[in-house]
Structure 1
Amino acid sequence: MSTAPSTVRVVGGGRMGAGIAQVFGTLGADVTIAESGDRDAARDRVATGLQRAAERDKLGGARPEEVLARLTVVAEIEELPDADVVIEAVPEIAGLKVDVLHRIERAVGPHAVIASNTSSLSIAGLAAALENPARLVGMHFFNPVPASTLVEIVRAPDTDAAVVERVRGWVSLLGKQEVLVNDSPGFATSRLGVCLGLEAIRMLEEGVADAESIDRAMELGYRHPMGPLRSTDLVGLDVRLAIAEHLASTLGDRFTPPQLLRDKVASGELGRKSGRGFHTWS
Protein backbone atom coordinates (compact mmCIF):
# COMPACT_ATOMS: atom_id res chain seq x y z
CA MET A 1 0.00 0.00 0.00
CA SER A 2 1.47 3.34 -1.04
CA THR A 3 1.96 6.06 1.55
CA ALA A 4 1.14 9.64 0.63
CA PRO A 5 4.03 12.09 0.81
CA SER A 6 3.72 14.22 3.92
CA THR A 7 6.04 16.98 2.70
CA VAL A 8 5.97 18.27 -0.87
CA ARG A 9 7.92 21.18 -2.35
CA VAL A 10 7.16 22.80 -5.69
CA VAL A 11 9.54 25.13 -7.51
CA GLY A 12 7.55 27.59 -9.62
CA GLY A 13 4.25 29.13 -8.61
CA GLY A 14 2.67 29.63 -12.02
CA ARG A 15 -0.44 27.86 -13.28
CA MET A 16 1.17 24.40 -13.31
CA GLY A 17 3.08 24.76 -10.05
CA ALA A 18 0.05 26.11 -8.22
CA GLY A 19 -2.06 23.24 -9.54
CA ILE A 20 0.49 20.67 -8.38
CA ALA A 21 0.63 22.33 -4.97
CA GLN A 22 -3.16 22.28 -4.78
CA VAL A 23 -3.58 18.57 -5.46
CA PHE A 24 -0.88 17.49 -3.01
CA GLY A 25 -2.20 19.91 -0.40
CA THR A 26 -5.68 18.45 -0.84
CA LEU A 27 -4.15 15.01 -0.28
CA GLY A 28 -3.01 16.25 3.14
CA ALA A 29 0.62 17.14 2.49
CA ASP A 30 2.52 20.05 3.94
CA VAL A 31 3.40 22.05 0.81
CA THR A 32 5.97 24.76 0.16
CA ILE A 33 6.22 26.67 -3.12
CA ALA A 34 9.45 28.41 -4.09
CA GLU A 35 8.52 31.37 -6.31
CA SER A 36 11.11 34.05 -7.10
CA GLY A 37 8.49 36.37 -8.63
CA ASP A 38 5.14 37.40 -7.16
CA ARG A 39 4.67 35.14 -4.13
CA ASP A 40 1.24 36.54 -3.31
CA ALA A 41 0.06 35.72 -6.83
CA ALA A 42 1.29 32.13 -6.43
CA ARG A 43 -0.65 31.74 -3.20
CA ASP A 44 -3.72 33.35 -4.76
CA ARG A 45 -3.62 30.83 -7.63
CA VAL A 46 -3.77 27.97 -5.16
CA ALA A 47 -6.52 29.69 -3.15
CA THR A 48 -8.61 30.29 -6.28
CA GLY A 49 -8.15 26.70 -7.40
CA LEU A 50 -9.20 25.38 -4.01
CA GLN A 51 -12.31 27.56 -3.97
CA ARG A 52 -13.32 26.35 -7.43
CA ALA A 53 -12.73 22.74 -6.40
CA ALA A 54 -14.83 23.26 -3.26
CA GLU A 55 -17.68 24.68 -5.34
CA ARG A 56 -17.61 21.50 -7.43
CA ASP A 57 -17.34 19.29 -4.31
CA LYS A 58 -13.90 18.06 -5.41
CA LEU A 59 -11.96 18.53 -2.16
CA GLY A 60 -12.88 15.20 -0.60
CA GLY A 61 -14.36 16.81 2.47
CA ALA A 62 -11.43 19.17 3.10
CA ARG A 63 -12.01 22.89 3.42
CA PRO A 64 -9.98 25.39 1.34
CA GLU A 65 -8.74 27.19 4.45
CA GLU A 66 -7.44 23.91 5.90
CA VAL A 67 -5.36 23.23 2.79
CA LEU A 68 -4.10 26.82 2.64
CA ALA A 69 -3.00 26.57 6.27
CA ARG A 70 -0.52 23.88 5.19
CA LEU A 71 0.86 26.02 2.34
CA THR A 72 3.97 28.17 2.58
CA VAL A 73 5.45 30.29 -0.20
CA VAL A 74 9.14 31.24 -0.12
CA ALA A 75 11.30 33.24 -2.50
CA GLU A 76 14.32 30.99 -2.96
CA ILE A 77 14.95 27.30 -3.50
CA GLU A 78 17.53 27.44 -0.72
CA GLU A 79 14.70 28.27 1.72
CA LEU A 80 12.88 25.00 1.02
CA PRO A 81 12.62 22.64 3.99
CA ASP A 82 13.53 19.00 3.49
CA ALA A 83 10.85 16.93 1.79
CA ASP A 84 9.63 13.59 0.51
CA VAL A 85 9.48 15.00 -3.00
CA VAL A 86 10.42 18.23 -4.79
CA ILE A 87 8.79 18.95 -8.15
CA GLU A 88 10.17 21.61 -10.47
CA ALA A 89 7.57 23.39 -12.56
CA VAL A 90 9.53 26.25 -14.11
CA PRO A 91 9.34 27.30 -17.80
CA GLU A 92 10.42 24.85 -20.48
CA ILE A 93 13.97 26.21 -20.82
CA ALA A 94 16.69 23.58 -20.52
CA GLY A 95 19.31 25.81 -18.92
CA LEU A 96 16.84 27.13 -16.36
CA LYS A 97 15.67 23.65 -15.40
CA VAL A 98 19.24 22.36 -15.08
CA ASP A 99 20.11 25.22 -12.72
CA VAL A 100 16.93 24.72 -10.68
CA LEU A 101 17.46 20.97 -10.32
CA HIS A 102 21.07 21.48 -9.24
CA ARG A 103 19.93 23.94 -6.56
CA ILE A 104 17.15 21.60 -5.42
CA GLU A 105 19.60 18.75 -4.89
CA ARG A 106 21.77 20.95 -2.70
CA ALA A 107 18.77 22.21 -0.70
CA VAL A 108 17.12 18.93 0.32
CA GLY A 109 18.25 15.66 1.84
CA PRO A 110 19.47 12.64 -0.12
CA HIS A 111 16.27 10.66 0.44
CA ALA A 112 14.03 13.17 -1.36
CA VAL A 113 12.66 12.27 -4.77
CA ILE A 114 13.30 15.02 -7.32
CA ALA A 115 10.76 15.24 -10.14
CA SER A 116 10.59 17.40 -13.25
CA ASN A 117 7.31 18.52 -14.77
CA THR A 118 9.00 18.96 -18.15
CA SER A 119 6.77 18.16 -21.10
CA SER A 120 9.53 17.45 -23.63
CA LEU A 121 13.11 17.76 -22.32
CA SER A 122 15.25 14.67 -21.78
CA ILE A 123 15.19 13.47 -18.18
CA ALA A 124 18.65 11.96 -18.66
CA GLY A 125 19.91 15.30 -19.94
CA LEU A 126 18.46 17.13 -16.95
CA ALA A 127 19.79 14.48 -14.56
CA ALA A 128 23.32 15.21 -15.73
CA ALA A 129 23.18 18.27 -13.45
CA LEU A 130 22.76 16.06 -10.38
CA GLU A 131 25.35 14.25 -8.29
CA ASN A 132 22.83 11.41 -7.98
CA PRO A 133 20.86 11.14 -11.25
CA ALA A 134 19.04 8.05 -9.97
CA ARG A 135 16.72 10.21 -7.85
CA LEU A 136 15.32 12.21 -10.81
CA VAL A 137 12.11 11.17 -12.54
CA GLY A 138 9.74 12.87 -14.96
CA MET A 139 6.36 13.66 -13.43
CA HIS A 140 4.49 15.39 -16.25
CA PHE A 141 1.18 16.83 -15.07
CA PHE A 142 -1.38 18.32 -17.43
CA ASN A 143 -3.21 21.63 -17.41
CA PRO A 144 -5.40 22.22 -15.48
CA VAL A 145 -3.73 19.94 -12.92
CA PRO A 146 -6.69 19.52 -10.52
CA ALA A 147 -9.09 18.47 -13.28
CA SER A 148 -6.73 16.42 -15.44
CA THR A 149 -6.69 12.67 -14.79
CA LEU A 150 -3.31 11.93 -16.42
CA VAL A 151 0.26 12.03 -15.13
CA GLU A 152 3.00 10.93 -17.51
CA ILE A 153 5.81 9.27 -15.54
CA VAL A 154 9.13 9.33 -17.40
CA ARG A 155 12.04 7.12 -16.41
CA ALA A 156 15.56 7.70 -17.67
CA PRO A 157 18.10 4.85 -17.89
CA ASP A 158 19.59 5.85 -14.51
CA THR A 159 16.29 6.46 -12.68
CA ASP A 160 16.05 4.22 -9.63
CA ALA A 161 13.21 1.68 -9.98
CA ALA A 162 12.21 2.35 -6.36
CA VAL A 163 11.76 6.06 -7.19
CA VAL A 164 9.47 5.15 -10.09
CA GLU A 165 7.37 2.92 -7.85
CA ARG A 166 7.01 5.62 -5.19
CA VAL A 167 5.83 8.10 -7.80
CA ARG A 168 3.38 5.59 -9.28
CA GLY A 169 1.86 5.15 -5.85
CA TRP A 170 1.54 8.89 -5.31
CA VAL A 171 -0.18 9.34 -8.66
CA SER A 172 -2.72 6.69 -7.68
CA LEU A 173 -3.35 8.36 -4.32
CA LEU A 174 -3.98 11.65 -6.12
CA GLY A 175 -6.83 9.91 -7.94
CA LYS A 176 -5.04 10.20 -11.26
CA GLN A 177 -3.89 7.64 -13.80
CA GLU A 178 -0.36 7.12 -15.04
CA VAL A 179 1.28 6.32 -18.29
CA LEU A 180 4.85 5.09 -17.81
CA VAL A 181 7.22 5.90 -20.66
CA ASN A 182 10.93 5.65 -21.27
CA ASP A 183 12.91 8.84 -21.72
CA SER A 184 12.60 10.12 -25.29
CA PRO A 185 12.15 13.60 -26.80
CA GLY A 186 8.56 14.69 -26.23
CA PHE A 187 7.78 11.43 -24.39
CA ALA A 188 4.40 10.05 -25.56
CA THR A 189 1.97 12.88 -24.95
CA SER A 190 3.85 15.96 -26.18
CA ARG A 191 5.19 14.11 -29.20
CA LEU A 192 1.73 13.02 -30.35
CA GLY A 193 -0.07 16.18 -29.24
CA VAL A 194 2.41 18.52 -30.94
CA CYS A 195 2.35 16.43 -34.13
CA LEU A 196 -1.45 16.75 -34.37
CA GLY A 197 -1.41 20.41 -33.35
CA LEU A 198 1.22 21.40 -35.93
CA GLU A 199 -0.68 19.69 -38.73
CA ALA A 200 -3.88 21.48 -37.68
CA ILE A 201 -1.99 24.80 -37.83
CA ARG A 202 -0.67 23.95 -41.30
CA MET A 203 -4.24 23.17 -42.43
CA LEU A 204 -5.40 26.55 -41.14
CA GLU A 205 -2.41 28.24 -42.81
CA GLU A 206 -3.25 26.54 -46.13
CA GLY A 207 -6.92 27.49 -45.96
CA VAL A 208 -8.24 23.93 -45.69
CA ALA A 209 -10.85 25.08 -43.13
CA ASP A 210 -11.28 27.63 -40.37
CA ALA A 211 -10.14 26.95 -36.80
CA GLU A 212 -13.60 26.13 -35.49
CA SER A 213 -14.21 23.56 -38.25
CA ILE A 214 -10.82 21.87 -37.79
CA ASP A 215 -11.41 21.52 -34.07
CA ARG A 216 -15.00 20.33 -34.50
CA ALA A 217 -13.88 17.67 -36.98
CA MET A 218 -11.63 16.06 -34.36
CA GLU A 219 -14.12 16.50 -31.53
CA LEU A 220 -17.05 14.94 -33.40
CA GLY A 221 -15.25 12.60 -35.76
CA TYR A 222 -12.67 11.19 -33.36
CA ARG A 223 -14.29 12.00 -30.01
CA HIS A 224 -11.44 14.24 -28.88
CA PRO A 225 -12.72 16.28 -25.93
CA MET A 226 -10.97 19.34 -27.37
CA GLY A 227 -9.76 20.10 -30.90
CA PRO A 228 -6.03 20.54 -31.59
CA LEU A 229 -6.18 24.32 -32.10
CA ARG A 230 -8.20 24.95 -28.96
CA SER A 231 -5.83 22.64 -27.12
CA THR A 232 -2.88 24.69 -28.41
CA ASP A 233 -4.58 27.81 -27.08
CA LEU A 234 -4.95 26.16 -23.68
CA VAL A 235 -1.32 25.01 -23.54
CA GLY A 236 -0.05 28.36 -24.82
CA LEU A 237 1.23 29.03 -28.33
CA ASP A 238 4.61 30.07 -26.96
CA VAL A 239 4.90 26.82 -25.01
CA ARG A 240 3.91 24.74 -28.03
CA LEU A 241 6.39 26.62 -30.22
CA ALA A 242 9.23 25.94 -27.78
CA ILE A 243 8.38 22.24 -27.63
CA ALA A 244 8.10 22.02 -31.43
CA GLU A 245 11.50 23.66 -31.86
CA HIS A 246 13.03 21.22 -29.40
CA LEU A 247 11.45 18.23 -31.14
CA ALA A 248 12.54 19.52 -34.55
CA SER A 249 16.12 19.73 -33.30
CA THR A 250 16.03 16.19 -31.90
CA LEU A 251 13.58 14.27 -34.12
CA GLY A 252 13.76 16.08 -37.46
CA ASP A 253 11.92 18.33 -39.85
CA ARG A 254 8.48 16.80 -39.32
CA PHE A 255 8.25 18.92 -36.17
CA THR A 256 9.32 22.19 -37.82
CA PRO A 257 6.89 24.88 -36.55
CA PRO A 258 4.62 26.46 -39.19
CA GLN A 259 5.20 30.14 -39.89
CA LEU A 260 1.67 30.94 -38.70
CA LEU A 261 2.57 29.69 -35.23
CA ARG A 262 5.74 31.80 -35.17
CA ASP A 263 3.82 34.86 -36.35
CA LYS A 264 1.14 34.54 -33.69
CA VAL A 265 3.68 34.16 -30.91
CA ALA A 266 5.62 37.17 -32.22
CA SER A 267 2.43 39.26 -32.18
CA GLY A 268 1.57 38.24 -28.61
CA GLU A 269 -1.34 35.96 -29.52
CA LEU A 270 -0.47 33.22 -27.04
CA GLY A 271 -3.86 31.59 -26.53
CA ARG A 272 -6.14 31.69 -23.53
CA LYS A 273 -3.65 33.45 -21.27
CA SER A 274 -3.46 36.44 -23.64
CA GLY A 275 -7.13 36.36 -24.65
CA ARG A 276 -6.49 35.37 -28.26
CA GLY A 277 -4.73 32.58 -30.13
CA PHE A 278 -6.45 30.46 -32.74
CA HIS A 279 -9.69 31.31 -30.96
CA THR A 280 -10.86 34.34 -28.96
CA TRP A 281 -11.09 33.85 -25.20
CA SER A 282 -13.08 36.03 -22.83
Structure 2
Amino acid sequence: MSLFSSRLINNMESENQTGVSEFLLLGLSEDPELQPLLFGLFLSMYLVTVLGNLLIILAVSSHLHTPMRFFLSHPSFVDICFTSTIVPKMLVNIQTGNKVITDAGCLTQVYFFMVCICMDNLLLTIMAYDRYVAICHPLYYAIIMNPRLCGLMILFSLFISIMNALLHSLMVLHLSFCIDLKIPHFFCELAQILRLACSDTLLNDILMYLVTRLLGVGPLSGIIFSYTHIVSSILRIPSIGGKYKAFSTFGSHLSVVFLFYGTCVGVYLSSAATLSPRRRAVASVMNTVVTPMVNPSVYSLRNRAIKGDLRTLISGTFSFS
Protein backbone atom coordinates (compact mmCIF):
# COMPACT_ATOMS: atom_id res chain seq x y z
CA MET A 1 0.00 0.00 0.00
CA SER A 2 2.80 2.39 0.85
CA LEU A 3 4.59 1.55 -2.44
CA PHE A 4 1.41 2.30 -4.38
CA SER A 5 0.96 5.59 -2.53
CA SER A 6 4.52 6.69 -3.25
CA ARG A 7 4.12 5.86 -6.96
CA LEU A 8 0.82 7.77 -7.06
CA ILE A 9 2.42 10.82 -5.45
CA ASN A 10 5.35 10.69 -7.89
CA ASN A 11 2.95 10.48 -10.83
CA MET A 12 0.94 13.43 -9.55
CA GLU A 13 4.08 15.49 -9.05
CA SER A 14 5.34 14.71 -12.55
CA GLU A 15 1.96 15.74 -13.99
CA ASN A 16 1.76 18.95 -11.97
CA GLN A 17 5.32 20.12 -12.67
CA THR A 18 7.52 21.05 -15.61
CA GLY A 19 6.36 20.80 -19.19
CA VAL A 20 4.96 24.35 -18.95
CA SER A 21 4.24 25.90 -22.33
CA GLU A 22 2.01 28.86 -21.50
CA PHE A 23 0.84 31.23 -18.76
CA LEU A 24 -2.39 33.14 -18.27
CA LEU A 25 -2.22 36.91 -17.79
CA LEU A 26 -5.34 37.83 -15.82
CA GLY A 27 -4.90 41.55 -16.53
CA LEU A 28 -6.37 44.44 -14.59
CA SER A 29 -10.00 43.36 -14.68
CA GLU A 30 -12.06 40.41 -15.88
CA ASP A 31 -15.23 42.49 -16.27
CA PRO A 32 -16.25 42.28 -19.98
CA GLU A 33 -17.83 45.74 -19.87
CA LEU A 34 -14.52 47.34 -18.87
CA GLN A 35 -12.47 45.77 -21.66
CA PRO A 36 -13.30 48.37 -24.38
CA LEU A 37 -12.53 51.18 -21.93
CA LEU A 38 -9.21 49.60 -20.91
CA PHE A 39 -8.29 49.00 -24.55
CA GLY A 40 -8.96 52.60 -25.55
CA LEU A 41 -7.22 54.01 -22.48
CA PHE A 42 -4.03 51.98 -22.81
CA LEU A 43 -3.87 52.37 -26.60
CA SER A 44 -4.06 56.16 -26.17
CA MET A 45 -1.42 56.14 -23.45
CA TYR A 46 0.87 53.93 -25.54
CA LEU A 47 0.59 56.19 -28.60
CA VAL A 48 1.23 59.30 -26.51
CA THR A 49 4.28 57.62 -24.94
CA VAL A 50 5.79 56.59 -28.27
CA LEU A 51 5.10 59.89 -30.03
CA GLY A 52 6.27 62.00 -27.08
CA ASN A 53 9.55 60.16 -26.68
CA LEU A 54 10.13 60.12 -30.44
CA LEU A 55 9.73 63.90 -30.46
CA ILE A 56 12.39 64.21 -27.76
CA ILE A 57 14.76 61.94 -29.71
CA LEU A 58 14.22 63.86 -32.97
CA ALA A 59 14.54 67.23 -31.23
CA VAL A 60 17.94 66.46 -29.67
CA SER A 61 19.29 64.34 -32.55
CA SER A 62 21.18 67.26 -34.08
CA HIS A 63 22.79 68.16 -30.74
CA LEU A 64 24.12 64.78 -29.60
CA HIS A 65 27.58 66.28 -29.14
CA THR A 66 26.16 68.00 -26.04
CA PRO A 67 26.32 65.56 -23.08
CA MET A 68 22.94 66.58 -21.65
CA ARG A 69 21.12 66.00 -24.92
CA PHE A 70 23.14 62.86 -25.63
CA PHE A 71 22.08 61.35 -22.30
CA LEU A 72 18.49 62.53 -22.70
CA SER A 73 18.02 60.66 -25.98
CA HIS A 74 18.71 57.32 -24.30
CA PRO A 75 15.98 57.42 -21.59
CA SER A 76 13.47 58.34 -24.29
CA PHE A 77 14.52 55.33 -26.37
CA VAL A 78 14.45 53.06 -23.30
CA ASP A 79 10.95 54.29 -22.38
CA ILE A 80 9.70 53.37 -25.86
CA CYS A 81 11.19 49.88 -25.50
CA PHE A 82 9.82 49.64 -21.94
CA THR A 83 6.19 50.22 -22.88
CA SER A 84 6.52 48.28 -26.14
CA THR A 85 7.56 45.22 -24.12
CA ILE A 86 4.34 45.30 -22.10
CA VAL A 87 1.46 47.27 -23.62
CA PRO A 88 1.08 45.72 -27.14
CA LYS A 89 0.65 42.21 -25.71
CA MET A 90 -1.82 43.59 -23.18
CA LEU A 91 -3.82 45.27 -25.95
CA VAL A 92 -3.91 42.04 -27.98
CA ASN A 93 -5.13 40.10 -24.95
CA ILE A 94 -7.90 42.63 -24.30
CA GLN A 95 -8.99 42.77 -27.93
CA THR A 96 -9.03 39.02 -28.54
CA GLY A 97 -10.10 37.95 -25.06
CA ASN A 98 -7.26 35.42 -25.10
CA LYS A 99 -5.12 35.79 -21.97
CA VAL A 100 -2.54 33.16 -22.93
CA ILE A 101 1.13 34.00 -23.26
CA THR A 102 3.70 31.36 -24.16
CA ASP A 103 6.55 30.52 -21.85
CA ALA A 104 9.00 32.00 -24.36
CA GLY A 105 6.91 35.17 -24.63
CA CYS A 106 6.68 35.42 -20.85
CA LEU A 107 10.42 34.99 -20.38
CA THR A 108 11.04 37.57 -23.12
CA GLN A 109 8.86 40.06 -21.26
CA VAL A 110 10.74 39.40 -18.03
CA TYR A 111 14.09 39.86 -19.76
CA PHE A 112 13.35 43.12 -21.58
CA PHE A 113 11.41 44.55 -18.64
CA MET A 114 14.43 44.03 -16.38
CA VAL A 115 16.84 45.42 -19.00
CA CYS A 116 14.76 48.58 -19.41
CA ILE A 117 14.06 49.30 -15.75
CA CYS A 118 17.72 48.73 -14.83
CA MET A 119 18.86 50.91 -17.74
CA ASP A 120 16.45 53.68 -16.68
CA ASN A 121 17.84 53.52 -13.17
CA LEU A 122 21.47 53.75 -14.28
CA LEU A 123 20.77 56.50 -16.81
CA LEU A 124 19.22 58.67 -14.09
CA THR A 125 22.43 58.22 -12.09
CA ILE A 126 24.59 59.19 -15.07
CA MET A 127 22.48 62.27 -15.73
CA ALA A 128 22.75 63.28 -12.06
CA TYR A 129 26.54 63.04 -12.34
CA ASP A 130 26.43 65.13 -15.51
CA ARG A 131 24.51 67.88 -13.70
CA TYR A 132 26.89 67.62 -10.74
CA VAL A 133 29.91 68.26 -12.96
CA ALA A 134 28.13 71.04 -14.87
CA ILE A 135 27.19 72.98 -11.72
CA CYS A 136 29.95 72.11 -9.25
CA HIS A 137 32.88 72.02 -11.71
CA PRO A 138 31.79 74.16 -14.70
CA LEU A 139 35.33 75.04 -15.79
CA TYR A 140 36.25 71.38 -16.18
CA TYR A 141 32.90 70.24 -17.61
CA ALA A 142 34.04 69.92 -21.24
CA ILE A 143 37.16 68.04 -20.17
CA ILE A 144 35.46 65.61 -17.77
CA MET A 145 32.30 64.95 -19.77
CA ASN A 146 34.10 64.22 -23.03
CA PRO A 147 32.44 62.08 -25.72
CA ARG A 148 34.57 59.04 -24.87
CA LEU A 149 33.50 59.03 -21.20
CA CYS A 150 29.86 59.61 -22.11
CA GLY A 151 29.89 56.69 -24.53
CA LEU A 152 31.65 54.40 -22.05
CA MET A 153 29.11 55.19 -19.31
CA ILE A 154 26.21 54.33 -21.63
CA LEU A 155 27.86 51.09 -22.77
CA PHE A 156 28.70 50.10 -19.19
CA SER A 157 25.09 50.73 -18.10
CA LEU A 158 23.80 48.66 -21.00
CA PHE A 159 26.20 45.82 -20.15
CA ILE A 160 25.12 45.78 -16.49
CA SER A 161 21.44 45.84 -17.48
CA ILE A 162 21.81 42.97 -19.96
CA MET A 163 23.84 40.82 -17.59
CA ASN A 164 21.39 41.40 -14.75
CA ALA A 165 18.37 40.46 -16.87
CA LEU A 166 20.18 37.48 -18.39
CA LEU A 167 21.15 36.11 -14.99
CA HIS A 168 17.57 36.29 -13.69
CA SER A 169 16.18 34.76 -16.89
CA LEU A 170 18.60 31.82 -16.78
CA MET A 171 17.70 31.19 -13.15
CA VAL A 172 14.00 31.00 -14.09
CA LEU A 173 14.75 28.34 -16.73
CA HIS A 174 15.82 25.91 -13.98
CA LEU A 175 12.46 26.14 -12.17
CA SER A 176 9.56 23.72 -12.51
CA PHE A 177 5.99 25.00 -12.44
CA CYS A 178 2.61 23.69 -11.36
CA ILE A 179 -0.52 23.42 -13.48
CA ASP A 180 -2.29 26.56 -12.24
CA LEU A 181 -0.22 29.17 -14.08
CA LYS A 182 -2.41 32.24 -13.64
CA ILE A 183 -0.51 35.51 -13.24
CA PRO A 184 -2.64 38.23 -11.55
CA HIS A 185 -0.95 40.93 -13.60
CA PHE A 186 -1.04 42.46 -17.08
CA PHE A 187 2.53 41.37 -17.88
CA CYS A 188 5.00 38.72 -16.78
CA GLU A 189 6.70 40.04 -13.67
CA LEU A 190 9.56 38.06 -12.14
CA ALA A 191 8.16 38.09 -8.59
CA GLN A 192 4.79 36.77 -9.80
CA ILE A 193 6.42 33.99 -11.83
CA LEU A 194 8.49 32.83 -8.84
CA ARG A 195 5.28 32.46 -6.82
CA LEU A 196 3.98 29.96 -9.37
CA ALA A 197 7.03 27.69 -9.16
CA CYS A 198 6.71 24.27 -7.52
CA SER A 199 10.45 23.90 -7.08
CA ASP A 200 12.58 25.71 -4.51
CA THR A 201 13.08 29.40 -5.37
CA LEU A 202 15.46 30.26 -2.54
CA LEU A 203 18.38 31.03 -4.86
CA ASN A 204 16.13 33.13 -7.08
CA ASP A 205 14.82 35.06 -4.09
CA ILE A 206 18.33 35.67 -2.73
CA LEU A 207 19.57 36.82 -6.14
CA MET A 208 16.60 39.16 -6.60
CA TYR A 209 17.09 40.60 -3.11
CA LEU A 210 20.82 41.20 -3.56
CA VAL A 211 20.54 42.66 -7.05
CA THR A 212 17.65 44.91 -6.02
CA ARG A 213 19.66 46.27 -3.11
CA LEU A 214 22.83 46.66 -5.19
CA LEU A 215 21.27 48.23 -8.29
CA GLY A 216 18.69 50.14 -6.27
CA VAL A 217 20.58 51.54 -3.30
CA GLY A 218 23.84 52.09 -5.20
CA PRO A 219 22.54 54.37 -7.99
CA LEU A 220 20.15 56.15 -5.62
CA SER A 221 23.05 56.90 -3.27
CA GLY A 222 24.97 58.35 -6.22
CA ILE A 223 22.01 60.57 -7.13
CA ILE A 224 21.63 61.79 -3.54
CA PHE A 225 25.38 62.48 -3.36
CA SER A 226 25.28 64.46 -6.61
CA TYR A 227 22.29 66.59 -5.65
CA THR A 228 23.59 67.23 -2.13
CA HIS A 229 26.66 68.89 -3.66
CA ILE A 230 24.56 70.58 -6.36
CA VAL A 231 22.23 72.21 -3.82
CA SER A 232 25.19 73.20 -1.68
CA SER A 233 26.83 74.93 -4.67
CA ILE A 234 23.62 76.69 -5.69
CA LEU A 235 23.07 78.07 -2.18
CA ARG A 236 26.47 79.76 -2.41
CA ILE A 237 25.42 81.71 -5.53
CA PRO A 238 24.77 85.31 -4.39
CA SER A 239 22.11 86.37 -6.91
CA ILE A 240 18.57 84.99 -7.04
CA GLY A 241 18.72 85.00 -10.85
CA GLY A 242 21.84 82.87 -10.79
CA LYS A 243 20.21 80.40 -8.43
CA TYR A 244 17.13 80.15 -10.65
CA LYS A 245 19.26 79.65 -13.76
CA ALA A 246 21.25 76.89 -12.05
CA PHE A 247 18.08 75.19 -10.83
CA SER A 248 16.58 75.26 -14.33
CA THR A 249 19.46 73.14 -15.61
CA PHE A 250 18.54 70.16 -13.43
CA GLY A 251 14.90 70.74 -12.44
CA SER A 252 13.51 68.43 -15.12
CA HIS A 253 15.89 65.61 -14.24
CA LEU A 254 15.09 65.92 -10.53
CA SER A 255 11.37 65.72 -11.32
CA VAL A 256 11.90 62.50 -13.30
CA VAL A 257 14.01 61.06 -10.44
CA PHE A 258 11.19 61.67 -7.95
CA LEU A 259 8.66 60.21 -10.38
CA PHE A 260 10.72 57.10 -11.12
CA TYR A 261 11.77 56.23 -7.58
CA GLY A 262 8.45 57.31 -6.09
CA THR A 263 6.49 54.89 -8.27
CA CYS A 264 9.05 52.11 -7.77
CA VAL A 265 8.89 52.44 -3.99
CA GLY A 266 5.11 52.64 -4.07
CA VAL A 267 4.74 49.53 -6.21
CA TYR A 268 7.57 47.20 -5.24
CA LEU A 269 7.99 47.94 -1.53
CA SER A 270 4.84 49.19 0.18
CA SER A 271 2.41 47.33 -2.08
CA ALA A 272 4.16 44.01 -1.45
CA ALA A 273 2.92 44.08 2.15
CA THR A 274 -0.35 46.00 1.89
CA LEU A 275 -1.94 45.26 -1.48
CA SER A 276 -3.38 42.15 -3.07
CA PRO A 277 -1.73 40.92 -6.31
CA ARG A 278 -4.54 42.42 -8.42
CA ARG A 279 -4.31 45.81 -6.73
CA ARG A 280 -0.55 45.67 -7.11
CA ALA A 281 -1.07 45.18 -10.84
CA VAL A 282 -3.21 48.33 -10.92
CA ALA A 283 -0.52 50.21 -8.98
CA SER A 284 2.11 48.99 -11.47
CA VAL A 285 0.39 51.00 -14.20
CA MET A 286 1.97 54.12 -12.69
CA ASN A 287 5.47 52.69 -12.98
CA THR A 288 5.23 50.90 -16.32
CA VAL A 289 2.82 53.05 -18.36
CA VAL A 290 2.20 56.45 -16.81
CA THR A 291 5.83 57.35 -15.99
CA PRO A 292 7.19 56.74 -19.55
CA MET A 293 4.23 58.74 -20.89
CA VAL A 294 4.81 61.71 -18.57
CA ASN A 295 8.61 61.89 -18.89
CA PRO A 296 8.68 63.71 -22.28
CA SER A 297 6.34 66.40 -20.90
CA VAL A 298 8.50 66.85 -17.81
CA TYR A 299 11.70 67.19 -19.85
CA SER A 300 10.18 69.57 -22.38
CA LEU A 301 8.34 71.80 -19.89
CA ARG A 302 11.13 72.12 -17.31
CA ASN A 303 14.14 72.40 -19.63
CA ARG A 304 14.70 75.52 -21.72
CA ALA A 305 17.18 73.84 -24.07
CA ILE A 306 14.75 71.03 -24.88
CA LYS A 307 11.89 73.49 -25.40
CA GLY A 308 14.09 75.35 -27.84
CA ASP A 309 14.96 72.13 -29.67
CA LEU A 310 11.28 71.20 -29.90
CA ARG A 311 10.35 74.64 -31.29
CA THR A 312 13.13 74.34 -33.87
CA LEU A 313 11.97 70.84 -34.84
CA ILE A 314 8.31 71.87 -35.18
CA SER A 315 9.03 75.10 -37.05
CA GLY A 316 11.43 73.28 -39.36
CA THR A 317 8.85 70.58 -40.07
CA PHE A 318 6.08 73.05 -40.94
CA SER A 319 8.37 75.29 -43.03
CA PHE A 320 9.57 72.23 -44.96
CA SER A 321 6.00 71.12 -45.64
TM-score > 0.5, shorter chain as reference: no
TM-score scaled by length of structure 1 = 0.31
Structure having the higher Rg = 2
Which is richer in strand? 1
